[in-house]
Structures are given as structure tokens and as C-alpha cells.
């Protein structure tokens, strides 16, 4: 069993910053890919940023230069630093991870989601 626990969401004004954290716990051999997704009301869930075990990153175009994803492998934690926030960033943000319990067995997990609201 594996659990992803998120924190750091909240209400901020446009131009402000938030730092999201997601900690994975349970039976973990290695966490390969980790990422952040978001879903706004009436919209499909979309990938915001992802990071590999080795630190390679990929971002949605609209957040490039504003958001930074990082991870601490020793702590099984992924972060999303969000700067220069815009009202269109308002959404529920979900942590996602591909986790291997053993060298040969892996599966995908989701966090519970954390609300980010950016006021204008």
C-alpha cells in the first residue's frame, strides 16, 4: 500500500506564490516519475509538470518560467513551486507518481488533491 499526501494549497492574490508538497509513504522500492496535474471546474484534468527520478522535467507551456517542479528522492517528496500565479491557475492540484514496490512491480498512484485559488 502506498499513499500520497499533499499540502500547501490555499488562497492567494494574482502575482503571489504557493509551494505544494507531496509525500509518498508505504511500501516503496523506488519512485520513477512524479508529477502534478490540475483540474479546473468544468475542465479536463491536465498535466502541469512532471519530473523523472534523474531530475528531467517537463512543463505545460502556460506555466513555463513560473512554476518549478523538484523532488527529494531521500524523502520520497515532490514539490511544485508556483510563482506569478494567475486566476487561470485556479484548480484542484493532484500529485501523481509511478511507484515500484519491488524491482519488478509498479503501479500509478494519485493524491487526494489540494485546492489552489488565485483571486484577481
Predicted pLDDT at 93: 98
The three cell numbers of residue 74 are: 531521500
pLDDT single digits (tens) 10-69: 999 999 999 999 999 999 999 999 999 999 999 999 999 999 999 999 999 999 999 999
Q: Using one digit for the tens of pLDDT, what is the confidence trace for 65-110?
A: 999 999 999 999 999 999 999 999 999 999 999 999 999 999 999 9
- Asked if residues 111 and 80 have their Cβ atoms less than 8 Å apart, the reply is no
Computed on alpha carbons and rounded to an integer, the radius of gyration of the chain in Å comes to 14
CA dist list (Å): 79 to 25, 44, 69: 15, 22, 6
* pLDDT tops 90 at residue 1: no
Amino acid at each position: 500500500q502506498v499513499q500520497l499526501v499533499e499540502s500547501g494549497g490555499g488562497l492567494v492574490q494574482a502575482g503571489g506564490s504557493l509551494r505544494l508538497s507531496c509525500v509518498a509513504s508505504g511500501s516503496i522500492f523506488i519512485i520513477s516519475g512524479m508529477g502534478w496535474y490540475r483540474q479546473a471546474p468544468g475542465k479536463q484534468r491536465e498535466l502541469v509538470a512532471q519530473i523523472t527520478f534523474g531530475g528531467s522535467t517537463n512543463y505545460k507551456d502556460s506555466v513555463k518560467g513560473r512554476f518549478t517542479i523538484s523532488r527529494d528522492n531521500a524523502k520520497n517528496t515532490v514539490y511544485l513551486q508556483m510563482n506569478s500565479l494567475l486566476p487561470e491557475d485556479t484548480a484542484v492540484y493532484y500529485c501523481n507518481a509511478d511507484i515500484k514496490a519491488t524491482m519488478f512491480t509498479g503501479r500509478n498512484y494519485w493524491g487526494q488533491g489540494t485546492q489552489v485559488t488565485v483571486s484577481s
